[in-house]
Amino acid sequence: MTGLLPLSVRKAEVILRGKRIVGPVDLDLDVEGFTIVMGPNGAGKTTLLRMIHGLVRLSGGEISWNLPVREARTRQAFVSQTPAILRRTVQDNIAYPLILGGTPRRLAREKAAEWTERVGLGPALQRQAVVLSGGEKQKLAIARALITEPELLFLDEPTANLDGRSMKEIEAILGEARSRGRRIVMATHNVGQARRLASEVVFVYRGNVHEHRDAAGFFDDPHSDEARAFIYGDIVE
């Protein structure tokens, strides 16, 4: 089976109401790895991910997958920083992408129950999802993204505003997903988390990709002053 990756982004940009939010960006994503998109708040991490996934329209440039666009979209999943929680039970939330894709309801619900267990939400299976805590909602969203077995998973700051325990659990879930072959691209501004998870780093600053390197190289010897300041916890505007 032909894979989704590699991905090539050329001169891609997003302009909203005359203001350039992101770009022009050149970026290549390889078949393997765990990419962390880093940068200060407001640097354009979220828009960059949304742009690549296709949630915002390109104002210029192009994004080309190794597959036709229509097919490419079905092999990716996206977890927002504040994921939408459907007004249904946890099980029905997680089963939802499969049902949309035409999986028989019973099978979808069985698989959803499995995934609910896997992300540690087992006891909440039949609860209304909107009453879950912030950490539980993130786990639900990740399970809902992984249930379709996407080749590529985007996550936008999945552990922002979560306590240490939830963060640890979510990192474990992501680590397991990676070991099962999921390609992951995740935005965070938590340097410690980036060090723990990243195989490569994309450093974003003022709407542009400043560095794209393997993680070890980036953390040992960042090229730009901004990246260096960011890693060492100085204030970067």
Residue 40, classed as helix, strand or coil, is coil
Q: Is 73 in the site for another protein (CB under 8 A)?
A: yes
Q: Is 78 in the site for another protein (CB under 8 A)?
A: yes
Structure tokens at 16: 């909203």
Size of site (CB under 8 A) for another protein: 26
| Of 84 and 235, CB closest to another protein | 84
Q: Is 88 in the site for another protein (CB under 8 A)?
A: yes
Question: Can you list the alpha helix ranges (DSSP code H) found in 28-104?
Answer: 45-53, 69-74, 90-100
Q: Is 89 in the site for another protein (CB under 8 A)?
A: yes
How far apart (Å, rounded) are the C-alpha atoms in residues 32 and 12?
22
Q: Is 133 in the site for another protein (CB under 8 A)?
A: no
Which residues inside 24-53 make contact with another protein, applying CB under 8 A? 50, 53
Contact 36, 188 (CB under 8 A): yes
Q: Which residues have CB under 8 Å from 31's CB, separation 6+?
A: 3, 5, 6, 183
Question: Taking the CB of residue 229, how many other CB atoms lie within 10 A of it?
Answer: 15
Using the rule CB under 8 A, which residue among 6, 31, 42, 105 binds another protein? 105
Using the rule CB under 8 A, which residue among 8, 59, 66, 128 binds another protein? 128
| Residues at the contact surface with another protein, assessed by CB under 8 A | 50, 53-55, 73-74, 76-78, 80, 83-84, 86-89, 96-97, 99-101, 105, 127-128, 130-131
